[in-house]
Structure 1
């Protein structure tokens, strides 16, 4: 994920620990770790704060501004979302949730508001937007066939 390795490298070069950086940014230490490991995307506002704090002359803000559309999704889901957009048939099995493609905005917001650790309102907004954008697959011609496995 863009920014992940750079944040860690710039932080180490500035001789700042993850806990100290988190305290200065008023975020949880796990947030910094997740960004550096690529599990959580670096947001534009946080990139700007990091650029100022780490004296990186706007490098991180520029990197975040040029993030490809694919990177809007977590790394583990990127290939899936890409294939989903090209699929002729969508097969899925869901146990206790409404599948992402069928979620209303309110349902998606409820799902993201229950995450632990909690995400910021900005990240929640971005994830809801990305999830709703996936519905574009149903506007394709021809529409992909869908099939759901029966629950046992």
Structure 2
């Protein structure tokens, strides 16, 4: 497994071992629960409830609860803010240094997943499968069960738990703009069977009602298409830097070069104009749902 990107200042591409995200074995959970206990202890010492502490640290009570329970990696600035607000003598910051592993997420994906936690906007185009943030448990389980080489049951459960936890971003980050462009054929494939697809359509239609989530369908028949080079993700950080992520069969590429980012943004903008409108996309999904 190679790591061509060790920081945000890498030149053009950083390559992560197995970019498909569907075959690397997840790394075990080490210190998330311990970090959560440290935060909870200092919060209680300060006589603050989770609801009182959340606005002070700048995150929702649900996020604070998830961190304290060891169910998620804290956002990048969480430890520094918490340590200062709770007057923790640097203990929380010291504990955060050991949060290098995340249950159910392989190391190649961790850098991108951490950026997602504080992103201002996230754009995704997919032509192979429904993106992880939009999957149902049944759809995701089908993907994991179909992996080759096969995964053990405990590996499937770990990856499924990590995927479902990551999906909390859509509701925990109401000020983050999520935009998805999905190919129509992803639903026509009926991956997992008609019932799985029916549930998937219901789920995505529900998510499309969130104010911070836009979902567009790229029609099956289209004379011009700006995304023929494959799937892509674009992300804007709080300091307005843009990064990209490209995924293949065995390797994922983290992109930071401004010229490459500009090209990806141009393609994404064209695809948003080529895809069906938000309302027409919902209508198409409802028709596909009714046909099952």
Provide the TM-score with structure 2 as the length reference: 0.29
**Contact 1:90-1:145 at 8 Å conserved across structures:** yes
Question: Quick check: 2:141–2:156 contact (8 Å CA) kept in 1?
Answer: yes
Aligned Cα root-mean-square deviation (Å):
2.4
- State the Cα distance separating 1:125 from its structure 2 match: 0.5
Measured at CA, do residues 149 and 79 of structure 1 come closer, stay the same or move farther in structure 2, by a change above 3 Å?
same
**1:91–1:115: structure 2 CA closer, same or farther, 3 Å change rule?**
same
Higher alpha-carbon deviation: 135-144 or 109-118 = 135-144
Which whole-Å deviations, capped at 9, do the CAs of 1:114-150 have from their partners, x for residues lacking one? 1110010011001001000001112225342122357
Q: What is the correspondence of 1:21-40 to structure 2 with a 5 Å cutoff?
A: 39-40=24-25
Tell me: CA distance 1:142–1:124, structure 2 relative to 1, closer, same or farther (3 Å). Answer: same
**2:174 pairs with one of 134, 139, 142:** 142
CA distance in 1, matches of 2:107, 2:113: 10
Identify the match of residue 106 of structure 1 among 125, 131, 138.
138
Q: Distance in 1 between matches of 2:29 and 2:159?
A: 17
After the TM superposition, which residues 2-151 of structure 1 pair with which residues of structure 2 at under 5 Å, given as runs?
39-41=24-26, 66-68=30-32, 69=73, 70-72=101-103, 73-149=105-181
| Count of residue pairs brought into register by the alignment | 94
Q: Tell me how far apart the structure 2 counterparts of residues 67 and 121 of structure 1 sit (CA, whole Å).
A: 23
Higher strand fraction (1 or 2): 2
CA contact (8 A) 1:92 1:148 kept: yes
- Greater relative contact order (Cα < 8 A, sep 6+): 2
Secondary structure (helix, strand or coil) at the match of 1:86 reads coil
In structure 2, relative to structure 1, the CA distance for the partners of 1:65 and 1:143 (3 Å cut) is closer
TM-score (norm 1): 0.54
1:22 aligns to what? none
Shift in alpha-carbon separation, 1:123–1:142, aligned structure 2, 3 A = same
Determine which structure has more spread, i.e. the larger CA radius of gyration: 2
Q: Structure 1, residues 2-44: CA drift from partner, whole Å, max 9, x if none?
A: xxxxxxxxxxxxxxxxxxxxxxxxxxxxxxxxxxxxx5346xx
Deviation at residue 105 of structure 1 after TM alignment: 0.2
Quick one: distance in 2 between partners of 1:142 and 1:95? 26
